[in-house]
Structure formats: structure tokens, C-alpha cells
Amino acid sequence: MTVFADDLLSEKTKLASGALVVEGELDTRHGPILYMEDVSVSFDGFKALNNLSLYINEGELRCMIGPNGAGKTTMMDVITGKTRPDTGSVFFGQTIDLLQMDEPAIAQAGICRKFQKPSVFDALTVFENLELALKTNKGTWHSLFFRLTAEQNDRIDDVLATIGLIDYARQRAGILSHGQKQWLEIGMLLMQEPKVMLVDEPIAGMTHQEVERTAELLLSLQGKHSIVVVEHDMEFVRSIARKVTVLHEGAVLTEGSMDEVQNDPRVIQVYLGG
């Protein structure tokens, strides 16, 4: 069942830049900012996603958990355009059909993804990494004559403060700790002014202090961005999540608070070792 099917069909749509959109900006007035409905993906007969339906609200911080092979990575691949589903719908707000867009167009629209392993430019300074990530015209001619405006400079300073790396602004990114590189990459996502951030296992390899700082950082971003965090560390999930979604065999097994999820007999059986 498609929740917004009637609304979507009634809208005047047009084909522009390879994407099916409705004239105007992102519309979240009548539903979530991101939704997947009845999405299935098969690889050589294996159903990585099996009629998955998922709804993320504007400004929400949602945690996704599940055993290996539950479909978490494939879910993010579908949202970001890396993988095309066999069936189903994936919309950004009510009017932007993500299945009609390629990866760069989806990123430009405001959906950004952070992978588990940080990918920063070690030879550049922290400031230069953020400058490179600015949401600007990346054309050759524009890049040749690009100069930071005062507003852009202030934007970088704001992000440096948010991610806790002001004191490292002029240091090469290669000298940062693993946790600091993770924060820098989150900062690089923030420079893109994302509406939705997909964050994959952000605390893997971190010290206890870095884990605490990462929790504080993600909590500070909720409300300003919609954040989907895929994580295995249950203590970390408990520290940041109001709502947890459990995936199993490519579908939603259950959703709720961390207490509700941990006490669900189905979750205990398939994931928490009961």
C-alpha cells in the first residue's frame, strides 16, 4: 500500500535534469522527509530487501540495528542511488522520486552519506577539507577563480566549532586521531547543507571519550537535520536514540524505544542472542 500515492498522482510533475520532480522545493508538509515503501532488492536470488517500508521524519535522529545481512547497507545504497530496487517506491518528501535520480543528483538534492571508514584528504588541512566540501559550483572555470566569501568563511568556522576541531583548523587531516577524522567527515557532510544524513557505524574503532563526543555531536544535529545512524553498539544506540528500527531479513522486524526493542522476544531471538 502506498501511503501518499493519491497525493503524488494528483501533483503536476515534470521531467527535469533526469529527475521526476514537482515544481517547487522539498515538500514535507504532509508526511516524512524520507520514505521507502514495499522496496525489494535481489542479488542472485537472495532478497537483500524484502518489501521494506521505512519512514523518517524531518529533524529525526533514527537508529537502525540488525544482524549482519539484515539489509542495512542495501537500504542506504537504495536511498543514495547506488542500487536500484526491483520493486517499490523511494521518495524525498512528497514530490521527489529518488528512483528517477542518479547518485550526484541525490546528493545535490540534500541526502548525504558517511561510510564507516572516514575518507578525508590527509594531505590537506582540516580547514581545506571543509572548504573543498562547500556546496558550490564545482565547474572547472568557477573553481579556477574561486575565493572564499566572508559568509563561507564563517560557515566553515561554525562547522569547525560544531565538530570540535577549531584548534586543528590549520593542521593536516592526516595527523588527526581516528575519531577526529570521523568528526571531520561529518563536518564535510554538514558543508553540503544536507537535509538527510546517513551515517554508517560512526564509532567503530573509537576510544571511550571519542564515543561520548560523537554521541554529543549527533544529538546536537538532530532537529537541524534528519539523521539515520546504522550501528551495532547497543550502549551507543541507547545514548542517542529515541526511536530504533530493527531490520531482519530485509524488512522491518520492529520499531520503538530502545527498551521496547530490547525486550521484544523477536529481537531477542534473532539479534540479541536469546
d(CA 226, CA 96): 16
Confidence band of 4 (pLDDT split at 50, 70, 90): very low
**Residues forming beta bridges with residue 222, ordered by sequence position:** 225
Residue 93 backbone class (left: φ over 0; alpha: ψ -120 to 50; beta: rest): left
pLDDT of residue 272: 60
Q: Is the pLDDT reported for residue 130 higher than 80?
A: yes
pLDDT of residue 29: 77
Q: What is the pLDDT of residues 152-161, one digit of tens each?
A: 999 999 999 9
Question: Does residue 136 register a pLDDT over 80?
Answer: no
Instruction: Please check whether residue 265 is in contact with residue 254, taking contact to mean a CB–CB distance below 8 angstroms.
Output: no
pLDDT band at 91 (very low <50, low <70, confident <90, very high): very high
> Per-domain residue ranges for the chain?
5-270
Average pLDDT over residues 170-182: 96
Q: Is the pLDDT of residue 23 over 90?
A: no
Residue 145 has pLDDT above 80, yes or no: no
Looking at the structure, give the CATH architecture of the domain made up of residues 5-270.
3-Layer(aba) Sandwich (3.40)
CA-to-CA distance for 149 and 181, rounded, in angstroms?
Answer: 26
Q: In percent, how much of the chain has pLDDT > 90?
A: 75
Closest residue by Cα to residue 66 from 271, 273, 274: 271
> Residue 147's pLDDT is what?
75
pLDDT at 121 over 70: yes
Nearest to 213 by CA among 188, 244, 182, 238: 182
pLDDT at 144: 44
Give the chain's mean pLDDT. Answer: 87
**Averaged pLDDT, 53-73:** 95
pTM over 0.75: yes
What b-and-e string marks burial along 23-38, b requiring 16 or more CB atoms within 10 Å of the CB? eeebbbeebbbbbbbe
CA atoms within 13 A on the CB side of 124: 13
How many angstroms separate the CA atoms of 89 and 232, rounded? 27
Nearest CA to 196 out of 61, 66, 103 is that of: 61
pLDDT digits (tens, 9 = 90+) for 199-254: 999 998 899 999 999 999 999 999 999 999 999 899 999 999 999 999 999 999 99
